[in-house]
Amino acid sequence: MEFKEALEKLENSQEIKKLSEESYLAHGFITLNENMEQAQPWNIGYYNKKTDKIATFAVTEHVIEELGEEDVFKEPGTEVDKLDTDKVGKTLSDAVEITKKTVEEKYKAQIPTKVLVLIQNIKDVGIVWNVTIVTKQLNTLNIKIDAETGEIKEEKLTSLLQYKDKKYSD
Say what the pTM is: 0.92
Judged against a pLDDT cut of 80, whether residue 165 lies above it is answered with no
Provide the 8-state DSSP code for 142: E
Neighbours of 66 (CB within 10 A): 14
Tell me: the pLDDT tens digits for 87-143? 999 999 999 999 999 999 999 999 999 999 999 999 999 999 999 999 999 999 999
SS3 content of the chain, % helix, strand, coil (to 5): 20, 40, 40
Q: Are strands 23-32 and 112-122 parallel, antiparallel or unpaired?
A: antiparallel
What are the extents of the domains in the chain? 3-163
Burial class (CB in 10 A: 0-12, 13-18, 19+), 71: exposed
SS3 call for 92: helix
Least Cα distance to 82 among 4, 134, 142, 27 occurs for 27
Q: Which helix (H) or strand (E) holds 54?
A: strand 53-59
How many CA atoms lie less than 13 Å away from 16 in the CB half-sphere?
18
Return the pLDDT at 11. Answer: 96
* pLDDT score at 73: 83
CB-based contact 158:142 (threshold 8 Å): yes
Per-residue pLDDT, averaged over 2-7, amounts to 98
Distance between CA atoms of residues 71 and 69, nearest Å = 7
Angle among Cα 59, 71, 51 to the nearest 5 degrees reads: 100
What pLDDT score was predicted for residue 161?
84
CB contact at 8 A, 98 and 106: no
